[in-house]
Amino acid sequence: MSLDGYVAGPNQSVEHPLGEGGMALHEWVFGLRAWREPHGMEGGEDNASTPVVERNLAGVGAYVMGRNMFGGRGPWAENPWDGWWGDDPPFHLPVYVVTHHAREPLEMQGGTTFYFVTDGVESALAQARETAGDRDVFVSGGASVARQCFANGLIDEATLSVVPILLHGGERLLDGLDGAQLQMECVEAVAAPGVTHLTYRRSG
């Protein structure tokens, strides 16, 4: 997230999936070994962000994401989009995609299967919880799905990775939460190269 609260820049598109300037929000993670290994890449460095990334990925049994994060908008085309990640996405687990448009499950290499859920984020979370069992459900994003989870008190723990840039526009994570009862406390703050990780846990 940028200092002015944006998790994507303006004018999101296939060419700019994170909006104009939005890629800068993730520069801190691209060189990390802990990020590169799940993406099938060699090398990488370790720094203060490493344990944060490793902890967030450990113990995950299923993922939830929004349609925009998966890619594309509106009805599925004749040859539908299969995601940004190629034939072997980095999740290696079931992923429940919240969308308005039905589609058969999409089984990929490496153990990732995308399930397309058309009856809302709470249904997606319920299905993910059933799959995950006693493991965690990781809400990957994007902003709309995360906001719905915050608004409905569905988040137990959240890590905000704040990057010291201003985007001046785009999509904010915490807009539209008027009336939501967010009772969370900060349990950790980690300063790392190019980013500060703030972890909040539900307190009520």
- pLDDT tens digits, one per residue of 140-153: 988 899 999 998 88
Overall domain count for the chain: 1
1 inside domain? no
pLDDT at res. 165 = 96
55 inside domain? yes
* % of the chain beyond a pLDDT of 90: 74
113 by Cβ neighbours in 10 Å (0-12 / 13-18 / 19+) ranks as middle
31 inside domain? yes
- pLDDT tens digits, one per residue of 40-65: 899 999 999 999 999 998 999 999 99
pTM: 0.91
Side-chain half-sphere exposure of 4, counting CA atoms within 13 A: 10
The residue segments making up the domain with residue 83 are: 6-202
Q: Can you say whether the dihedral through the CA atoms of 110, 107, 148, 137 is positive or negative?
A: negative
Between strands 60-66 and 94-98, the pairing is parallel
- pLDDT tens digits, one per residue of 164-202: 999 999 999 888 887 777 889 999 999 999 999 999 999
**Dihedral angle over CA of 23, 171, 55, 72, nearest 10:** -70
CATH code of residue 142:
3.40.430.10
pLDDT at res. 44 = 95
97 inside domain? yes
